[in-house]
Amino acid sequence: MATAARQSLKIGLIPADGIGKEVIPAARRVLEAIGSDIPKPEFVPLLAGWEVFVRDGTALPEETVEALRECDGALFGAVSSPSRRVTGYSSPIVALRKELDLYANVRPVISVSANPDDKPAVDLVVVRENTECLYVKQEQLVHSENGREARAIRLITERASRRIGKMAFEIALSRPRKQVTIVHKSNVLTITDGLFRETIRQIPSESNGRYDSVKLEEQIVDSAVYRLFREPQIYDVMVAPNLYGDILSDAAAALVGSLGLVPSVNAGDKFVMGEPVHGSAPDIEGKGIANPIAAIRSAALMLRHLGYAAPAHRIDRAVDQVIREGQVLTPDLGGKSSTDDVLNAVLKKL
């Protein structure tokens, strides 16, 4: 997304549930500290989540969606979706992705070495299709002679596959290795995953040479997970349908120490929303020890997609310095520091 001339930057803030209410305010503080490198940020507090559903009967108020349409970007914290079926409830983050056509979930996973001159042992990006697959949530429970049967529809379209593929190729063009790996299971799911694979493989031939410098590979999903843990350095940009991308990006987070380090953005052609990969973490909610780094990095990713690469780099560099020094770390990274301790350390580096 290109930088537009703006007097201010209007950012929707949706802390939602659990530790989202602790890490999103930290990300806001970092954006405020950037200063003149970005237009003056104007923050719009908004509601969504399980707690809102319990109180008001809707997990995603229409007012939130309409307010976001007037924003330049947004930050979403975390949602506490129940594991059981609750009548009338649907995940607000899934709904927002559809309402705002945020068809790509982009999740960079990068390890930080103690030596700033070392190359990262892990440096990859998972590009996850965000609107289809089993996440269309077309499920039904039926009764048969075998008892209850649960059925779900899996949707893969050529349009969605093509545009997520193009997003992956564009990201690869901006990276040194320029490699895209399609992750699929078309040896079994020959129609759905077959369409995803075939559509993305056609993209280079339709690009008038734009992607000639990008190396295209593919990997069966179970093999991809195995090799991700054994040889993460072989991957650069991984592009996958919704469910596989969700699993791959969470698994990749284990390679760098914690989900509390891994950011993401939900991106479309007209809007971008940062979202830390971690969940609502009810076990540590309110204890002040949630790791704010994933939310802070998500704010940097949001800025980068809005065209503000230099301030995004400043934020990432400050976070890297804090992690590298290893003096101020939350418990998920083996430390004893609080959310505010980490935030203040990052602000100091800025």
Enzyme catalytic residues: 135, 185, 222, 246, 250
User: Using CA atoms, how far apart are residues 26 and 176, in angstroms rounded to an integer?
Assistant: 31
Determine the Cα angle at 338 with ends 264 and 256, to 5°. Answer: 40
User: Using CA atoms, how far apart are residues 209 and 232, in angstroms rounded to an integer?
Assistant: 29
Checking phi first, is residue 224 left (phi over 0); if not, alpha (psi -120 to 50) or beta?
alpha
Determine the Cα angle at 106 with ends 103 and 111, to 5°. Answer: 170
Summary count for the chain: helices (H), strands (E): 11, 12
Task: Return the amino acid letter for 52.
Answer: V
CB contact at 8 A, 11 and 327: no
Rounded to 10°, the helix 293-305/20-33 angle is 50
Q: How far does Cα 216 stand from its chain's mean position?
A: 23
